[in-house]
Amino acid sequence: MLFFLENLVDLPKVKIRNVIQEGTEAFLILSCQEEEVKCNYCGRLTDELHQTNNLLIRDLPISGQTVYLQVPRRKFYCKKCQRFFTENLEFMEARRKYTVRYEEYVYNRVNVSSVEQVSREEALSWDKVHGIYQRQCEKKKKIGKG
């Protein structure tokens, strides 16, 4: 069952350990697959895990269910450059409460309706939807100039 769900959700470098369903919300409990990661500063591989904090982030809905991912945010220590760093996961940006694809989904929905409507339908505050929309606009400008 989880194998099918992993293929459906398609998140790189993580596995789904468990699924908890509460009403119309689904919580996918994730674990990281890689033992070693590249240092963000020097590029050397390290397996020196310093600490892990779980973070709850929102993802795309599945079959009308609101989906949250419990993501282990792992901090490593690099012996070579003697620095701590947080593992990069390509499906989420640092200090965000949403997956990259969810933010793109919200942006596309606002483009065809309004911030108010998306806010209501996604049960997010107007400020959160507007913030996501503005960040996506800035990203698209940078890509266009690059």
CA atoms of 146 and 142, how far apart (whole Å): 6
Same domain for 19 and 44: yes
Same domain for 90 and 28: yes
Q: What would the pLDDT profile of 8-62 be if each residue is shown by its tens digit? A: 899 999 999 999 999 999 999 999 999 999 999 999 999 999 999 999 999 999 9
Which long-range contacts does 4-12 make (Cβ < 8 Å, 24+ apart)?
Answer: 8/62, 9/59, 9/62, 11/69, 11/91, 12/89, 12/90, 12/91
113, two tokens: 């309706």
Choose one of 53, 70, 94: the last residue of a domain: 94
Same domain for 61 and 3: yes
Same domain for 113 and 85: no
Same domain for 64 and 33: yes
Choose one of 62, 79, 94: the last residue of a domain: 94
Same domain for 138 and 88: no
Domain count, the chain: 2
Same domain for 112 and 62: no
pLDDT band of 144, cuts 50, 70, 90: confident
Nearest 5°: the CA angle 73, 40, 143 is 95
Same domain for 135 and 102: yes
Q: Residue 135 is part of which domain span?
A: 98-146
**So what's the pLDDT on residue 5?**
82
Same domain for 146 and 113: yes
**So what's the pLDDT on residue 88?**
93
**So what's the pLDDT on residue 33?**
92
**So what's the pLDDT on residue 94?**
87
Which residue in 16, 41, 42 sits closest to 29, CA to CA? 16
Compute the mean pLDDT over every residue in the chain, rounded to the nearest whole number.
94
Q: What would the pLDDT profile of 96-113 be if each residue is shown by its tens digit? A: 999 999 999 999 999 999
Same domain for 124 and 63: no
Which residue in 121, 119, 126 sits closest to 24, CA to CA? 121
Choose one of 57, 73, 94: the last residue of a domain: 94
**So what's the pLDDT on residue 145?**
62
